[in-house]
Amino acid sequence: MLKRTLLSLVAATAFAATAGAQAISNPDAAYLAATTKFDQSGADFTTFNSLTSGSLTLTFGTALERRMVPGSWSTWSTAPFSERVAGVDYDVAYCAGCSVLRMSLSSAVSIFGFESEPNPFSVHSFTANFLRNGGVVGTVTRDVAGNAGARLFAYADAGGIDAVEFISNNQVDFATASFRFGAPASVPEPATFALLGLGFVGLAGAARRRRA
């Protein structure tokens, strides 16, 4: 019984370290069901440096300015490319003069995503580097049209994502929207590794006794 339990724990640990590492192209039903959306609503032209869900805080390296589609921000895409429903007001956040936006999470999550659209109406390239402990765990690069062309930048990694570096490759400013996060990352605690080590020692001893 102990052997079966330890082997199951090893398999679960290996799965947590490798499974689910993938880019997410569009905000489909599975993505929406697996994530929680930060509330970024507020009055037009007010600014903010962070958002909170109550249990998690998302902090921005540059202050963002609230805008509304349609109105103070004129266009955005609709489903299946974004969460926006045609004819319904949609909150976005303008990064004035930005070419790079850093986003940091108060703890690592298994999924993180957001939408973005350039300020100019032409097509521009953007790259999102998803980070864990300062290292890149995944990268998404997309060409995005400024005329109703907003696209999702999202990544899933069960090992954890704790920050994002979002880069405007053509040095144009942009707006962002619909910041979402998944469940906490399934990273084993040090005590779990210690338990695994003790289990392997016990299994090795039992094997030696059987051979004797």
Per-residue pLDDT of the chain (212 residues; tens, 9 = 90+): 333 333 332 333 333 344 459 999 999 999 999 999 999 999 999 999 999 998 999 999 999 999 999 999 999 999 999 999 999 999 999 999 999 999 999 999 999 999 999 999 999 999 999 999 999 999 999 999 999 999 999 999 999 999 999 999 999 999 999 999 999 997 554 544 444 344 434 434 444 444 44
Q: Is 129 in contact with 164 (CB distance < 8 Å)?
A: yes
CA atoms within 13 A on the CB side of 203: 13
What pTM, to 2 d.p., does this model score?
Answer: 0.80
Instruction: Report the alpha-carbon distance of residue 150 to residue 105 in Å, rounded.
Output: 23
Q: Is 106 in contact with 113 (CB distance < 8 Å)?
A: no
Measured torsion, CA atoms of residues 136, 138, 139, 144, in degrees rounded to the nearest 10: -130
Q: Is 61 in contact with 103 (CB distance < 8 Å)?
A: yes
Measured torsion, CA atoms of residues 159, 162, 166, 167, in degrees rounded to the nearest 10: -80
Reported as a single tens digit per residue, the pLDDT across 109-125 is 999 999 999 999 999 99
∠ Cα 175 180 184 (to 5°): 145
Reported as a single tens digit per residue, the pLDDT across 137-158 is 999 999 999 999 999 999 999 9
Sketch out the chain's domains with CATH numbers.
22-186 (2.60.120)
∠ Cα 58 64 66 (to 5°): 110
